[in-house]
Structure 1
Amino acid sequence: MSRVELQPCWVLHRRAWRESSLLVEILTPVHGRLGVVARSARAARSPWRGLAEPFIPLQASWVRRGDMGTLTALEPVGDSVRLVGRALWCGLYVNELVLRLTARDDPSPELFTLYGHLMLAMTETGKLAVALRRFELALLDLLGVMPDLAREADSDRAVLAEGLYHVDPERGPVPAAGPGRHVFSGELLLALAHDRIDEGDLAARSRALTRLLLDRQLGGKPLHTRSLFAGPLLNRTAEIEGDS
C-alpha cells in the first residue's frame, strides 16, 4: 500500500458512489491522473461536502492499494475558479478532453501547469477562444501527436502564407488545389505554428483545425460535452466566439 500526502490536484470528474461517497478523477503533477474514492463526501456533516468538485484548486492525500486510491485528506489551496456561462461549458469540455486523451498514472507536470494556466485564462473576458485553442494545441504537443504546421508533410518545404493546404491529422499540411474539406490557409497554419493565435479572428478560424486534430486522437468517439453546444443560442454564440 502506498501513501501520498498533500499533493496539488484538480478534480476532473466525480460521480456518486454508494449512499454517500464519490468516485473522483483527479489530475496531479507528480502522479498524473488517478481515480480515488472520497468516502462519505456527500454526507451532510462531511468536511469534504461540496469540495470534491471541478475548478477548485486542491491538495489531496490518499492511500492506495490497487487501481483506486482512497482519499484521507482534502483541502482547498485557493479560491475556486468562477466559470459561468460559456466558460463553464468550456471548462467541462476541457475536463472531458483530458480524461479521454490521457492515461492514468502517467505523470505530466507540464500538463498540470498548462491546466492551471487555462483555468485562470478562462476567467478573462473576451479571451476564452484564444485560451482554449492554445490549450488544445499544447495538449496535442504534450501527447506527441501535433504535426508540424509550418512545413509541408511530403516535401518539408516551408508553408506559404498565401497557399492553401489540406491537413492530414497525422502527417501535416499538403498543398491543395483549391478550397475543400480539411483545407486551410497557410496564413492560419503559420499563425498556429508560431503561437500568434491571438491576432484578429484567428482563434475562431482555427476551431475547425483543432477539432480535426483532436477528433483523430479521440478515435471518432464524440465528446459528451459537445452536445452542450447543440442548442440554437449556444451554437450561435459558439460561432461568434469560436469555442470548443
Structure 2
Amino acid sequence: MKGDRDLPLQTVYLLHSRPYRENSLLLNLLSAELGHISAVAYAGSSRKNSKKAQLQPFSVLEVQLKVSGSMYTLSQIESATLPLPLSRQFLYSGFYLNELCVRLLPQNISCDPLFEQYHQALQQLNNQQSIEPILRKFEFSLLEELGLGIDFSVLETEPGVAERDSQYWYYLPEQGLIPADYQLQADKFCYQHLIAIRDGKLQQSDVLLTCKALMRQVFKPLLGNRPLQSRKLFAYSKR
C-alpha cells in the first residue's frame, strides 16, 4: 500500500481492541473485503467519546478507513446494529470465535465466506441455538480459509472393498487422517463418526464429542502453547 488514501466504507466486526499510544486504540477488525486487519482509532481521553462507545464486539459497524503507508486508521464509525446481547456460554463462544480469528487469520486477505460464516454464527448464538455445532462449523470454515481443510477423501472405500466402519483413525498434523493400524499416543476416531462429520451431520452427541476432540488436535499445533483466554472463561463458568 503506497500513499495516503481513503477506502470505501467498510462493513466490519470488531474482534479485539487494546490501548495504543496516547488516547488511541489498536483494533483487530474482520471485514468481508479486507479480511482480518489492524487499525488505529483515536479514542480521546473522555469516557463519553462516541467513537469509543461505538467500538463494541458483536455489532455490525460501518467504518471509514484511511490508509497511510502500511497502516489503517479508522476515521469514522457508525453502528449499523446494536451489539448482540450475548451472555454466559453464548458470550464466551463469541469471544472464542474472535480469539481464533485474531490468533490464526493472516491479515489483509479477503475472506468473504468466513465473514458470512462468522455473521451467521453470531446470529445463531444470539438465538441461543446449540453451541457445539455452531463452533464446529465455524472451525471448519476457518480451516478452509487457512488452506488447512481436513481431507476426508481418505475415508472412501475402493470398489469391492468392505466398508471401514469398524476401523479407527488417527489425525496427524503432517499427514491428516491415517488408519489406526499401529499404536500412537493420540486420540483415535471412529470411522462412522468421521463420515458423519464429513457429511455435516452433527446432531448426535457422540459425533459432536468426536468432532470436538478432532478439532482440538487440528488446532493445537496452529495455536501453539499460549492458551486461549476464552477457554478459561468456559472453565471458570463450570466451577
Letter in 1 for 2:198: A
Task: Mark the CA change 1:18 to 1:194 in structure 2 (over 3 Å): closer, same or farther.
Answer: same
User: Which of 160, 163, 166 is the matching residue for 1:162?
Assistant: 166
Task: State the number of aligned residues.
Answer: 233
Where structure 2 has 5 or more consecutive residues not aligned to the other structure, the ranges are none
Q: 2:233 aligns with which of 212, 220, 228?
A: 228
TM-score using structure 1 length:
0.85
Q: Which residue of 2 aligns with 1:116?
A: 119
Q: Is the 8 A contact 1:137 1:146 kept in 2?
A: yes
Contact 1:37-1:69 within 8 A present in 2 as well = yes
Identity %: 28
TM-score normalised by structure 2 residue count = 0.86
- Spell out the pairing of 1:100-115 with structure 2 (5 A cutoff): 100-115=103-118
**Whole-angstrom CA distance in 1 between matches of 2:96 and 2:233:** 9
Match of 2:187 in 1: 182
Q: What's the Cα RMSD here?
A: 2.6
Q: 1:230 to 1:127 in 2, by over 3 A?
A: closer
Q: Structure 1 counterpart of 2:204, which letter?
A: E
**1:37-76 alignment runs, 5 A limit:** 37-40=40-43, 43-76=46-79
Moved more, 183-192 or 118-127: 118-127
With over 3 angstroms needed to count, the CA separation of the structure-2 counterparts of 1:77 and 1:208, relative to structure 1, is same
TM-superposed CA distance for 1:220, in Å, is 4.2
Paired residues of 2:36 and 2:101 also in contact (CA < 8 A): no
Letter in 2 for 1:139: L
Q: Which runs of 5+ in 1 are unaligned?
A: 236-244
- Greater percentage in helix: 2
Deviations 1:138-191 (A, max 9, x none): 2112211122134249x9x89733321112234222222589622110121111
2:138 matches 1:135: yes
Q: Is the 8 A contact 2:56 2:83 kept in 1?
A: no
